[in-house]
Structure 1
Amino acid sequence: MERIINFNNEIKMALQQDDGRTFREIFLNLHPMDQAAIYLDMDRQQHLQIQQHLTPSAFAGIFQALDLQHQEKAVEEMDDAYIAHMFEAMYADNVADFLERQDAGYREKIISLMTGEGRAEVRELLDYAEDSAGTIMTKEYIAVLESDTVGEVMEKLSAEATRAVTIYYVYVIGPDHRLKGVASLRELIIAPDDAGVGSIMQTHLISAGVDDDQEDVAKVIQKYDLIALPVVTDQGLLAGIVTVDDILDVVHIEIEEDFGELGTTRGAMDYNLTIFQSAKKRGPWIIMLMLLGMITANIIGAFEETLEAVVLLSAFIPLIMDSAGNTGTQALTVAVRNLALGNIGPGSVLKTLGRELGTGFLIGAASAVALMILIPIFYPDGGMMFAAIVGLTLVTTLSLSAVVGALIPLIIKKLHIDPAVASGPFITTINDIMGLLIYFTIATTLLGQL
């Protein structure tokens, strides 16, 4: 960090003196992430100076290291021609990732200013369905013909390696561009130059379809420990590759979305949101949950006579509600996690629900035993019958709460919706309502025994 601060000061001094040569000597020797950090530490005037001293292709590395919000601020300070040239120097998937988040008019204007192969590749990527393999794949890969020799392939690698995202794999295609196999760089290095690449390639292919969900692609790359995964069309044509760094971005985005869903804060997790933007995104969820909470109030009102007869019942309402909510949230978390990992299939649903029912029952039984010991000590007026009411309520409520927490995401998954939308607050509210109904029903039934 201290090294970056020193470079930062030297770079700012060079800009202040309008010394472009010194600026480039220092700045271009830094890692793009360090360049981006220094860029963010500068004001608008210094940004314009950087653009004057750097070609669009040199600025491309900085741009790709910025997050979306800062990328959008950066392009506001650039003219359209500079942006188009910068995009031509970037990988097509990174350009498409940025442009798909912009309005259609701006997107079309910038693409029309681009030239050559890059423009066609960006258009192609933008045509694929959102969150599919097609939208995250890159077109910069090395493809060779099945009839090529190893020597010819190595010559091609030497000539085209700089434009490829990765050269660890070479993709072998037929004359019709169908994917035939994959050859690793290691296999190419140790093979004789006159050997046909078709004789050393791996034909047991692991690939993804262009319309496959990006989460499924991430699972395949994780399962087989791949650096890159070829993406093919329905006809088997090689369309692109998805690299592990793209998958890391996908995983980061999906985790952030799932955390937002679980806490009903999706879209409101950006640290840079204003107070009003944050309230606008989070407020509707709170209001909706508040309206659901009115059911809880009505349940308490419906059992007013029971509460008047035994006022002590009210002391344990928070305990029942909190225990039910916490148990349901735990089951929800476990279920969503196992669904994401593919551990729950059609044949294991009943097993999953049975396990959660048993888990909730054991937790409830342990809690009931503890309370049946403690309640007579701290609330002697209630006696053992009152302790039995609370204990029986906990056993029943926690058993059912665990099942509800696991069942709801399973149902939502069946409806082809992200199971993370079965958020913790919703599960908690449902289990609160159920817990109170069980509590007061048992208490009313046994009221004559108190």
Structure 2
Amino acid sequence: MMKFILMMGFMMPLCLKKNMFWLVQMLLMLMMLMFMNLTLSIMNFCNLSYMFGCDMISYGLILLSIWISSLMIMASESLYKIDLYFNLFLFNVIFLLIMLYLTFSVMNLFLFYLFFESSLIPTLMLIIGWGYQPERMQAGMYLLFYTLFASLPLLMGIFYIYYEMNYMMMYFLKFYDYNLLMLYLCLIMAFLVKMPMYFVHLWLPKAHVEAPISGSMILAAIMLKLGGYGLLRIMIILQKINLKMSLIWIIISLIGGFYISLKCFCQIDMKSLIAYSSVAHMSIVIGGIMTMNYWGFMGAYILMIGHGLCSSGMFCLSNMNYERLHSRSLFLNSGMMNFMPSMSLFWFLLMSSNMAAPPSLNLMGEISLINSLMSWSYMSIILLMLISFFSAGYSLYLYSYTQHGKYNLGIYSFYNGTSREYLILMLHWLPLNILVMKIDYSMIWF
């Protein structure tokens, strides 16, 4: 595991040299291929080096991080063209990737907390440095304070665990089961804010709308998954207390997911709509993890990977429209099928994956999560039906509004799309739908 950290470390000086923009991206792709060839043990942590290791959960999320980071660089070509501090941008992306890699691979709880919080800094830099509107400072503050407010109790909780157990390795957590309410709340809240759960989700749409395309991609694809990853890891020591408390979180998540789905229909900003749809999807993931059964954990993991690819691709699409029209308003972006018919196909493909149509990973994840929540309580079917129905509803709403109808008469000429843009979209869509063939890897890691 250390060799990849060294590789990323040596990529940092490259970022600051001239004409290295595409080389860094190619090196990330190469690193992706190297990481895919790692030998994996399904049951245990493997590839141990120092205090880093990798099991099935971290393997998938690290792969996703490297993949999305290389696509972020690809999607940010406009920074390179107008020379908007792109060296610093590359440096920032690699630094963020190192932090994410360390978060997912480290086995020490305290170091996990340290890197979990450190990934916030480069994200904040992305939003404040390369964001769009003047409100990006406010969005950055939202992101910072929502996340930091809940993370100090997490640190206290980790110190308490160390005080009790005298070690912090994640692998040994399975020997303990704490039945303490305060510890439970301390450990869990930081991850619920990061997911984000309904009630503490306000930072997410704000951050997405103000962030540049690269910021939106990494926020949607990886930052939300940090919360899910933390929950999957920490639930092992909180089983008894979670049996009593899970009802609260599942109800908040399901009702919140339903409300947010309705909220999606009120949006007039494309990015805002996609951001709110992320909150709706993540609410089902929280519900699945809180049921604490095999289907729930498995479905949460699959949906996290699927949503990472799908949501990131949708942000790329909205950015491609933004680069041409300089507006993300749905009113100005209507009737785009007349101008960009080939792009319309990708809108359709990614929207269909977003509403969990086969053969996407989202479908497998949602089936597993619906199974888990149904086995927990039959009553949850009502809200699950509503969330699934409205999920299809707002995906269709966004697709039909942007692609069909009368186009804006102010538009007079622009190009259909470059090979780079179609490649980015293909690299989002293909893994999302091809990985279903190897779904057994996601099913048997428990």
When the two structures are superposed, what TM-score results if normalisation uses the length of structure 1?
A: 0.25
Which structure has the bigger radius of gyration?
1
Q: Which has more helix, going by share of residues?
A: 2
Higher relative CO (Cα under 8 Å, sequence separation at least 6) belongs to: 2
When the two structures are superposed, what TM-score results if normalisation uses the length of structure 2?
A: 0.25
